[in-house]
Amino acid sequence: MDVGSGVLVFVLIWVVVFLVAVQIRPHTQDDAGEIVPGTPASAPRNFDMKKKLRITTLVAVVVWAAVAWVITSGVVTLDDLDIVSRFGPGAGR
């Protein structure tokens, strides 16, 4: 895996982890009982973006390291992922 591929894989993993992290333990205005007029009750009350970004980056680095190791070590190869030759026409012959 070259540098460009590694960066691309990291960015993809980071975005997916961020989208998951944003949904974990949200504190809404309705939960706090203090709804600001003109906003929906489901709006965040105190959204700590820095904390979410730090957590996202740490988790993404760990996941990326595992994915990069699997790709570069050869544990999984393209032959392992070739399902056409395993399950395609004439596979049992």
Q: Residue 52 is part of which domain span?
A: 3-87
Number of domains composing the chain: 1
Radius of gyration of the chain (CA): 21
Contact assessment for residue 12 and residue 58, using Cβ atoms and an 8 Å cutoff: no
Residue 77 lies in a domain: yes
Residue 45 lies in a domain: yes
- pLDDT tens-place string over residues 37-63: 998 988 888 888 999 999 999 999 999
Largest CA distance in the chain: 70
Residue 92 lies in a domain: no
pTM of this prediction exceeds 0.85: no
